[in-house]
Amino acid sequence: MPLKASYDKAIDSFRLEYLLGGAAAFALLFPHKYSLVEILWSFSIYLEAVAIMPQLFQMSRTGEADNITSHYLFALGGYRALYIVNWIYRYYTEDDYVDYIAWVSGVVQTALYADFFYIYFTRVLKGKSFKLPV
């Protein structure tokens, strides 16, 4: 593994069990319907909403990211932001289109990217490296 030498267990201290437990609790409390398939679908949507948190946490711990990593994260966040545009369009053009679980989770996920987007637009797109302000 070429990146194994750059792994630092002391910096990688994010507790994934909180994300998994939170997503599981939300899936059990707020599924679309109480069936196994719907609970698992809800779990996947809730988990997707917060799945970027370990990467953002890692960047906040190190204070920087490679350009390729910052471009990749921007693409992921942009993809989610475009989903919101899609939901708005579908809400106004389709009869009875309502998906509160996906909507709320998508807005939460996009909000998690807000600080990253700001730094990306003010630094990376101007040719500077991705470094968090001190």
Residue 65 has pLDDT above 90, yes or no: no
Whole-number Cα distances in Å, 43 to 39, 105, 107: 6, 11, 16
- pLDDT-derived band at 125 (thresholds 50, 70, 90) equals confident
- Specify the amino acid at residue 117: F
What DSSP state is assigned to residue 94?
S
Whether the pLDDT of residue 90 is over 90: the answer is yes
pLDDT at residue 40 above 80?
Answer: yes
H or E element: which one contains 64?
Answer: strand 64-65
The letter for the amino acid at 54 is P
What are 29-33's contacts with CB under 8 Å, separation 24+?
30/101, 31/101, 32/101
Alpha-carbon distances of 57 from 9, 60, 65, 101, rounded to whole Å:
13, 5, 11, 25
Asked whether the predicted pLDDT for residue 2 surpasses 70, the reply is no
